[in-house]
Amino acid sequence: MAQAQPLPTTPQADTGDLYLLPGETYTTISQKIGDVPLTPPLKTPRGWLLGFAVAFAMLMVFFVSVTWLFIRGVGIWGINIPVGWGMDIINFVWWIGIGHAGTLISAILLLLNQGWRNSINRFAEAMTLFAVACAGMYPILHLGRPWLFYWLIPYPNTHGMWPNFRSALDWDVFAISTYASVSLVFWLVGLIPDFATLRDRATNIWVKRAYGIAALGWRGSARHWHRYEMASLLLAGLSTPLVVSVHSIISLDFAISQVPGWQVTVFPPYFVAGAVFAGFAMVLLLMIPIRQFYGYQNYITLRHLDVMAKVMLATGMIVVYGYFMEVWASLYSGNTYEEYLLYNRINGPSAWAYYGLLFCNALAIQPLWFKRVRHNVPALLIISLLVSVGMWLERYVIIVISLQREFLPSSWDLYVPTIWDWSLYLGTFGLFFTLTFLFIRVLPMINIFEMRLFQYQENERRRRREHATHGDTGRDIVTGKADPSAASAD
């Protein structure tokens, strides 16, 4: 299947002031973004093949870990008494948090009419679905009898059983399934116009038919656009409270207990802010290499990276405030167990994790106050990586340090993850990146029709500014060529 070569465009210096660099047209946008999924299999870039091979190898590690878990049971993990929750719940909360940035970018920013989301919303939404898929594995595997997970779903049955709605585990079932369902529908609805674009551009009859089926008969009529916009707004309205509710419910898994350090009212907003914090860090961590590999610097500009870094800084400072509140509440409460928990975090056997999270989440983000750092791509990549590590350490501190030294010293025991804990965690990365590479290969990772709309709007804004400043020059502001419409208007 031969594809037309992308139209040449004049390279533009990215000063960090624009969300779409000049020189792009409807044609170049459609070709640069649409030609990636339409590339013939034999012409797939070697970089993609290498990345997919590594991700698929990690996915095989996941299958081996799960198979051995089914054979031997959860005893192969490092969990013990009193640490009945280990890396399985740590990784569950961490993966759910990563998925929050996608819903925030796609839903809340759509309702707020933030145009800068157009370049990153498609990829962030896909990242949400893949992260939720990785997170959903852990509670099921932690059940011990994972093949009976459907008992948690309230359905008419002959077992004489009904889910215990007072159980936090059942809350997770409803929260995650609702979040995943709405996010999937929102993502698929947004893909329909782009499916039609790929259908019209494809030259292979089978590829054309495949995208044609996915486009659901889209022809771009006024009726189609009206229904699309209504569906998008309704789904965005449904998704917005999910950003707050899902991680709030997960925080209640801890808050309903009597464990010191868990039963605090700051947990719901603290967890939500941390989820958005970790989610934007992962978006930056993935988008920066991808924009470089596919040459999307004109669409994902320094301005996008700057705004995402600001959101990461804002949510990071909320998380830091939560850290201070935990320390203050422990000291002010006068509760012996709360005070000892703080002491244990600072001087206990796992103090390295507490100091590590303070460095990664509190200190490492402080350079983001400066514009020069926010526009430094390697610096953003390093800070995003540190934040991702720090948010994992935060979950480790909350779960492990709070549990391994409980009320009775006779029950104390250290938690040490086993090779199977780490292999399962590595395997979920394989699942995540395998799905990510497949998404990049067969679907447009940037929203084509929204970028074309944004290009038109930016063109009009520049034309009006140019006209107000210098008068009508008769030249197109984006391409710099003579504009026949301006000449005819004269």
56 vs 54: CA distance, rounded Å: 5
* Percent of the chain as helix, strand, coil, to the nearest 5: 75, 0, 25
Domain residues of the chain, as ranges? Answer: 34-446, 450-459+469-490
Contacting residues for 420 by C-beta, under 8 A, at least 6 apart: 65, 68, 69, 76, 77
CATH of 34-446, one of 1.20.1630.10, 3.90.700.10, 3.40.50.720, 1.10.3470.10: 1.20.1630.10
Q: What is the pTM of this model?
A: 0.88
**Mean predicted confidence (pLDDT) in 394-413:** 88
Region of 179 please: left (phi>0), alpha (psi -120 to 50) or beta: alpha
Question: Which single residue is written with the structure tokens 């140019």?
Answer: 466
Residues 8-31 as b or e (16 or more Cβ within 10 Å = b): ebeeeebeeebbbbbebbeebbbb
What confidence score (pLDDT) does residue 489 get? 38
Query: Angle, to 10 degrees, between the axis of helix 87-98 and the axis of helix 222-255?
Result: 150
Peptide bond preceding 41 in cis form (omega within 30 of 0): no
Check pLDDT > 50 for residue 331. yes
pLDDT digits (tens, 9 = 90+) for 416-475: 999 999 999 999 999 999 999 999 999 999 988 888 888 877 777 777 877 777 665 555
Q: What are 150-174's pLDDT values in tens digits?
A: 888 877 878 777 888 887 778 888 8
What pLDDT band is residue 7 in, cutting at 50, 70 and 90?
A: very low
Average pLDDT over the chain, rounded to an integer: 86
* Mean pLDDT, range 182-194, rounded to an integer: 91
DSSP string, 76-131: GSS--SS----HHHHHHHHHHHHTHHHHIIIIIHHHTT-GGGGGTHHHHHHHHHHH
Q: Which of 81, 7, 98, 41 is nearest to 412 (CA)?
A: 81
Rg over alpha carbons for the chain, rounded to the nearest Å, is 25
Whole-number Å distance between alpha carbons of 36 and 32 = 7
Token pair in block for residue 320: 């830091």
With beta carbons less than 8 A apart as the criterion, state whether 25 and 478 touch. Answer: yes
**Rounded mean pLDDT, 18-40:** 85
Position 306 scores a pLDDT of 93
Q: What is the longest distance spanned by two Cα atoms in the chain?
A: 90
Whether residue 10 has pLDDT greater than 60: no
Q: Which amino acid is at 247?
A: H
